[in-house]
Amino acid sequence: EVQLVESGGDLVQPGGSLRLSCVVSGFTFRSYWMTWVRQAPGKGLEWVANIRQDGSEKYYVDSVKGRFTISRDNAKNSLYLQMDSLRAEDTAVYYCGGGPGGAWGQGTLVIVSS
């Protein structure tokens, strides 16, 4: 069974940092592009970043460039999102996704507020 489990969401002050993790099971992680998307409260889905199988290509939505870094550890079947210089507008549920069935995790909530 394909499973993606996100963690690391929290309440953080503006300007702070968080590192989200996504542990994957049920498929060959190293064979797939992986993606982070987010959903602000009451809003639609927003693609945030994705990363090639070997980590050699990474893409970001303009609003997070220079602040967020996507990475992966294929030995640990894990995807990460390092989020720095957080802003109120980054408040959202963050989902990781990828794999053979376009699977998604259940999400982790990030709240940026003072």
Partner 1 sequence: QAVVTQEPSLTVSPGGTVTLTCGSSTGAVTSDRYPHWFQQKPGQAPKTLISDTSNKYSWTPARFSGSLLGGKAALTLSGAQPEDEAEYYCMLLYSGPWVFGGGTRLTVL
Interface residue list for partner 1 (CB under 8 A): 35, 37, 44-47, 50, 57, 59-62, 95, 97, 101-107
Q: Closest approach of Cβ 16 to partner 1, in Å?
A: 25
For the record, the structure tokens of 68 come out as 């967020």
24 bridge partner residues: 4
Q: Choose between 106 and 113: whose C-beta lies nearer to partner 1.
A: 106
In 3D, which of 71, 67, 38, 65 has the Cα closest to residue 52?
A: 71
C-beta separation of 29 from 77 below 8 A: yes
Q: Closest approach of Cβ 78 to partner 1, in Å?
A: 19
Residue type present at position 84: D
Q: Closest approach of Cβ 17 to partner 1, in Å?
A: 23
